[in-house]
């Protein structure tokens, strides 16, 4: 897949999955903008010295001003071809143990941030007039809500991301903007291995495999897929 001459925004681009996505995009010739909230995130980016990567300090992506800074601060004269929304957060908890503050935190980090970035991306793509691609990251519990027992707020937020993906896809298809999402199961990352040391890691999808699916959905090679929530479960 060739991303030469295309600009892509990747939220959560300094994390495990985001770094894999960013690396594939840069290798395919894309110009990539990645927001970060703390300096340590930028410093740990494996691609921070790449000439086609712009790391931009922003605040909370659930804040409209921060999102505007991200999309307005993209490299000059480069329109947005694709926007990939990986940023989010996970906190487990039963409904009985989850107060309003915890619920709102999950909604802000996962759903509101995604909504605002989708909104800004659509505006940028409409202004460019050449269409584009949006890829969101939901989660397996968004497709299988019963599996979200014990992480109810997270499940509600990611289910919202799935619903947003499908509704937005219908709104902008006529403009040549294709909107999709992936729904990973637990991915094989160092953090997840540390949290679940007795799990069978061979069953978990690798971040590079999930990233490859995202890359296709964000590419010009994807000409027909829209409104899909693609399961990326591996063998799990």
Q: How many percent of the chain have pLDDT more than 90?
A: 93
**Mean pLDDT of the region 186-206:** 93
Q: Is the pLDDT of residue 10 over 70?
A: yes
Q: Is the pLDDT of residue 132 over 70?
A: yes
**How do residues 31-56 score in pLDDT, each as one tens digit?**
999 999 999 999 999 999 999 999 99
| Among 187, 181, 185, CA closest to 222 | 181
Q: Quick one: pLDDT at residue 113?
A: 98
Band the pLDDT of 186: cuts 50, 70, 90. very high
DSSP readout, the chain? ---TT-EEEEETTTSHHHHHHHHHHHHTT-EEEEEESSHHHHHT-TTTT-TTEEEEE---TTSHHHHHHHHHTSPTT---SEEEE-------B-GGG--HHHHHHHIIIIIIHHHHHHHHHHHHHHHHTS-EEEEEE--HHHH-GGGGTTBHHHHHHHHHHHHHHHHHHHHHGGGTEEEEEEEE-S-B-HHHHHH-TTS-GGGSPBHHHHHHHHHHHHSTT--S--S-EEEE-TT-
Give the CA-trace dihedral at 149, 147, 154, 116, to 10 degrees: -150
Q: Just list the catalytic residues.
A: 154
Band the pLDDT of 139: cuts 50, 70, 90. very high
Q: Residue 2, class by beta-carbon neighbours within 10 Å (0-12 exposed, 13-18 middle, 19+ buried)? A: exposed
| Among 49, 68, 46, CA closest to 59 | 68
CA distance 172 to 48: 33
Band the pLDDT of 60: cuts 50, 70, 90. very high
- Considering only the C-alpha atoms of the chain, give the largest distance between any 2 of them, rounded to a whole number of Å: 50
**Mean pLDDT of the region 185-190:** 93
Domains of the chain by start residue, with CATH? 7-232 (3.40.50.720)
**Mean pLDDT of the region 17-25:** 98
**How do residues 82-127 score in pLDDT, each as one tens digit?**
999 999 999 999 999 999 999 999 999 999 999 999 999 999 999 9
Q: Quick one: pLDDT at residue 118?
A: 98
Answer whether 112's CB lies under 8 Å from 199's CB.
no
Q: Quick one: pLDDT at residue 73?
A: 75
Backbone angles phi, psi at 134, to 5 degrees: -125, 130
């Amino acid at each position: 897949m060739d991303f030469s001459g295309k600009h892509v925004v990747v939220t959560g681009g300094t994390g495990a999955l985001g770094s894999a996505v960013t690396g594939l995009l840069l290798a395919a010739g894309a110009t990539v903008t990645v927001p970060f909230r703390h300096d340590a995130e930028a410093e740990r980016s494996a691609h921070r010295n790449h000439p086609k990567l712009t790391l931009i300090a922003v605040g909370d992506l659930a804040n409209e001003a921060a999102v505007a800074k991200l999309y307005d601060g993209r490299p000059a004269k480069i329109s947005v071809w694709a926007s990939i929304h990986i940023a989010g957060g996970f906190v487990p908890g039963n409904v009985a143990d989850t107060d309003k503050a915890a619920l709102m935190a999950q909604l802000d980090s996962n759903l509101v941030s995604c909504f605002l970035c989708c909104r800004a991306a659509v505006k940028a793509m409409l202004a460019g007039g050449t269409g584009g691609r949006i890829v969101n990251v939901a989660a397996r519990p968004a497709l299988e809500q019963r599996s979200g027992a014990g992480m109810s707020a997270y499940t509600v937020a990611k289910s919202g991301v799935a619903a947003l993906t499908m509704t937005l896809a219908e709104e902008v298809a006529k403009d040549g903007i294709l909107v999709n999402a992936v729904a990973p199961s637990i991915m094989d990352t160092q953090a997840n291995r540390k949290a679940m040391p007795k799990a069978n890691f061979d069953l978990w999808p690798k971040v590079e495999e999930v990233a490859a699916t995202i890359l296709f959905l964000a590419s010009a090679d994807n000409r027909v897929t829209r409104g899909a929530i693609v399961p990326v479960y591996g063998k799990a």
